Amino acid sequence: MKLEKAADQLEALGNPTRLQLYRTLVRAGDEGLPVGRLQEKLDIAASTLSHHLKRLVDTGLVTQERQATTLICRAHYPGMQALIGYLADECCADGTCPPVAKEAVV
């Protein structure tokens, strides 16, 4: 992944509404969600949802598929994995990784 693409995706996810929308689609799994169901879940206007979806589609984080009269939106998991990989690829490349925190015993 190139720096510019990662920056575009991170910028798109930097908006709270788009981040909430994206996380909703990630939770929905490969089945995705129809636009109407997304609008209900997020309680936002159709025009606002359309604007935010377009940005996520343009950056490669979301795909859309028309099924008859229904538009299904899905998280593009390869795009998500590429972004996560890009962020983690050079972890501690120039130094020592911090110790892994132990889980608290409750």
Per the domain annotation, does 99 fall within a domain? no
Main-chain phi, psi angles of 37, to 5 degrees: -70, -40
Range of the domain at 71: 3-90
Distance CA 100, CA 103 (A): 9
Q: Answer whether residue 46 is part of any domain.
A: yes
Residue 30 in this model has a pLDDT that exceeds 90:
yes
18: domain CATH number is: 1.10.10.10
Using an 8 Å Cβ cutoff, are 37 and 67 in contact? no
Q: What is the tally of structural domains in the chain?
A: 1
Residue 104 lies in a domain: no
Write out the DSSP string of 33-70: EEHHHHHHHHT--HHHHHHHHHHHHHTTSEEEEEETTE
Give per-residue pLDDT as tens, 51-106.
Answer: 999 999 999 999 999 999 999 999 999 999 999 999 988 888 888 887 777 665 65
